[in-house]
Amino acid sequence: MKLNELTIKEAQEGLRNKKFTSVELTKACLDRIKERNVELNAFITVCEETALKEAQNADEMLVEGKIFPLTGIPFAVKDAICTAGVRSTGAAKVLDNYIPPYDATVIKKIREQGGVLLGKNNCDAFGHGASNENSMYGPVKNPINLDKVAGGSSGGSAAAVADNMCIFAIAEDTGGSIRQPASFCGIVGMRPSYGRNSRFGIMPMASSFDTVGPMTKTVEDMAIVMQEIAGKDALDATTVPDLVPTYNDEMKKDLTGLRVGVPQEYFEAEGMDSEVRDVVEKQIKNLEKRGAEIIYLSMPLTKYAIAVYYVLVPSEVSSNFGRLDGIRYGMRADAKDLFDVYSKSRASGFPEEVKRRILIGTYALSSGYYEAYYKKAQQVRTLICRDFDRVFSDVDVLVTPTSPFAAFGLGEKSADPLQLYLADIFVSPAASAGIPAISVPAGETKSGLPIGLQIMGPKLSEGLIMSVANNIKK
């Protein structure tokens, strides 16, 4: 097995037992990136020189006995997350030359313990998309089938992990951007509860939905990374003070007596692929064999989740993106006066989808429409939250497909934004409710495309949903 193919757990053991060094491990990842990135386009920036220096440092730490869980482990970061001294574009030209002076808190925690930053992953610009075709740096291809999308918006991170260009990645999930690409590329991806991980240093998309989470090769690795990045952060007032449990212990709990809810609406969606349904249903039977009690139930508000999401998220986008004006950060277009600076920098610096969302959001918040759209959507969001509260008094977790279909063709849906919005049908409800949800590989289609299964749980139940995920075997 090549070093870049290792899991975090295996890499940790190899480094500690001096079977190889972090420099060797990092070189193996960098070689893989060189070999594959031209085709896959998973990285916008590769930090070859600094990564090797960081690996050397990590090797010294290991010799000196300063050993933390992620010391010497090479990882990649979605480009919509700030990394000190490393260009962070958000996959939009407006930030083409932006080099943040600080690390996002989650990245700082990893780098401080000697994690090795390999580079920045391509994504839909600022997280706006479900196929990674809205990047101004070109689409990402699915490593399993190059004619298919990698999913979005964290398609670059998913492809990088699935193709062994890195050992793990850190990405962002506002409304599915970790889980859906994880499902399309056949890896593990978790959106933690809102407030579990710090959002400081994440380029804000929709601040009341945004979360940061890991993308990994195994559930065990997910527990390792979550342990290191979760927790209260003085720089993010929305982080919760609750103690971070020992995820590795929680993840290993067995399923005896666990009440698993299966909401029927997640199996009846329009465009639902029968191969996906069959794989997920088979896995649910397996959970039953492992001691779980399966409870079929209904969540009738599921069908409103996308409408709610696509009113509230653009509204928050239209407010958050005011800062990207060609003056404070990044690129400034040639212009003759102030208004021209704004309009030209934005016109050339944002892709169509970002502009579309700013316009929709501005419209939904404008006087006269605010009550009809924004306020109404907030009310329905509350009802969706209550729907989850209601079912979580009867069941411990919910199991559903992550996406109604496996990875679709490049260009297949890109001409019709509504089609892409509809792809979020199973991932947007958890985002509205701020609850944790994990996607884990559950099987594949006859043509070999990965199928992901989603497990959702009540707030702060990351350990519990990981324990269920750990019981899903392909």
Maximal CA-CA distance, the chain: 70
CB 423, min distance to ligand GLN, A: 7
CB 424, min distance to ligand GLN, A: 5
Contacting ligand GLN (CB under 6 A), which of 44, 130, 136, 438?
Answer: 130
Contacting ligand GLN (CB under 6 A), which of 176, 351, 452, 458?
Answer: 176
Q: How far is CA 314 from the centre of its chain?
A: 18
Contacting ligand GLN (CB under 6 A), which of 14, 74, 127, 181?
Answer: 127
CB 68, min distance to ligand GLN, A: 29
Whole-angstrom distance, CA of residue 426 vs CA of residue 453 = 10
Q: Among this protein's residues, is 78 annotated catalytic? A: yes
* Site for ligand GLN contains 349 (CB under 6 A): no
Residue 265's contacts (CB-CB under 8 Å, 6 or more residues apart) are: 298, 299, 300, 302, 303
* Site for ligand GLN contains 451 (CB under 6 A): no
Of 408, 454, 103, 419, the closest CA to residue 270 belongs to 419
Between vectors from CA 354 to CA 348 and to CA 357, what angle results, nearest 5°? Answer: 135
Q: Among this protein's residues, is 393 annotated catalytic? A: no
Q: Is 202 helix (H, G, I), strand (E, B) or coil?
A: strand
Contacting ligand GLN (CB under 6 A), which of 10, 79, 103, 424?
Answer: 424
CB 365, min distance to ligand GLN, A: 17
* Site for ligand GLN contains 170 (CB under 6 A): no
Element (H, E) at 415: none
CB-wise, 175 or 429, nearer to ligand GLN?
Answer: 175
Tokens 């949800």 locate to 437
Binding piece for ligand GLN, criterion CB under 6 A, among 12-20, 124-132, 262-270, 336-344: 124-132
DSSP string, 331-362: -----SSHHHHHHHHHHHHS-HHHHHHHHHHH
Out of 135, 153, 193, 315, pick the active-site residue: 153
* Site for ligand GLN contains 219 (CB under 6 A): no
CB 410, min distance to ligand GLN, A: 16
Q: Which two tokens stand for residue 361?
A: 């959001």
Give the start-end residues of each E strand in 144-194: 145-149, 168-173, 188-191
* Site for ligand GLN contains 103 (CB under 6 A): no
Residue 439: asked if its preceding bond is cis (omega within 30°), the reply is no
Residues between 60 and 89 that touch ligand GLN (CB under 6 A): none
CB-wise, 205 or 226, nearer to ligand GLN?
Answer: 205
CB-wise, 174 or 283, nearer to ligand GLN?
Answer: 174
CB 368, min distance to ligand GLN, A: 25
Beta bridge partners of residue 190, listed in sequence order: 438
* Site for ligand GLN contains 364 (CB under 6 A): no
Whole-angstrom distance, CA of residue 179 vs CA of residue 427 = 7
Size of the site for ligand GLN (CB under 6 A): 14
Of 230, 18, 21, the closest CA to residue 116 belongs to 21
* Site for ligand GLN contains 417 (CB under 6 A): no
* Site for ligand GLN contains 113 (CB under 6 A): no
Amino acid symbol at 348: S
Out of 78, 93, 148, 413, pick the active-site residue: 78
Q: Is 75 helix (H, G, I), strand (E, B) or coil?
A: strand
- Region class of 443: left (phi > 0), else alpha (psi between -120 and 50), else beta: left
* Site for ligand GLN contains 196 (CB under 6 A): no
Question: Whats the size of the chain, residue-wise?
Answer: 474
* Site for ligand GLN contains 186 (CB under 6 A): no
Cβ density class 270-308: b for 16+ within 10 Å, e for less: eebbebbbebbeebbeebeeeebeeeeeebebbebbbeb
CB 153, min distance to ligand GLN, A: 4
CB 330, min distance to ligand GLN, A: 20
CB-wise, 177 or 414, nearer to ligand GLN?
Answer: 177
Q: Is 472 helix (H, G, I), strand (E, B) or coil?
A: coil
Q: Are 29 and 4 within 8 A, CB to CB?
A: yes
CB 280, min distance to ligand GLN, A: 20
* Site for ligand GLN contains 173 (CB under 6 A): yes
Out of 22, 88, 135, 177, pick the active-site residue: 177
Contacting ligand GLN (CB under 6 A), which of 76, 205, 260, 433?
Answer: 205
User: Mask 292-331, x = binds ligand GLN (CB under 6 A)?
Assistant: ---------------------x------------------
Residue 242's contacts (CB-CB under 8 Å, 6 or more residues apart) are: 460
Q: Which residues does the annotation mark as catalytic?
A: 78, 153, 177
Q: Which residues bind ligand GLN (CB under 6 A)?
A: 127-130, 153, 172-177, 205, 313, 424
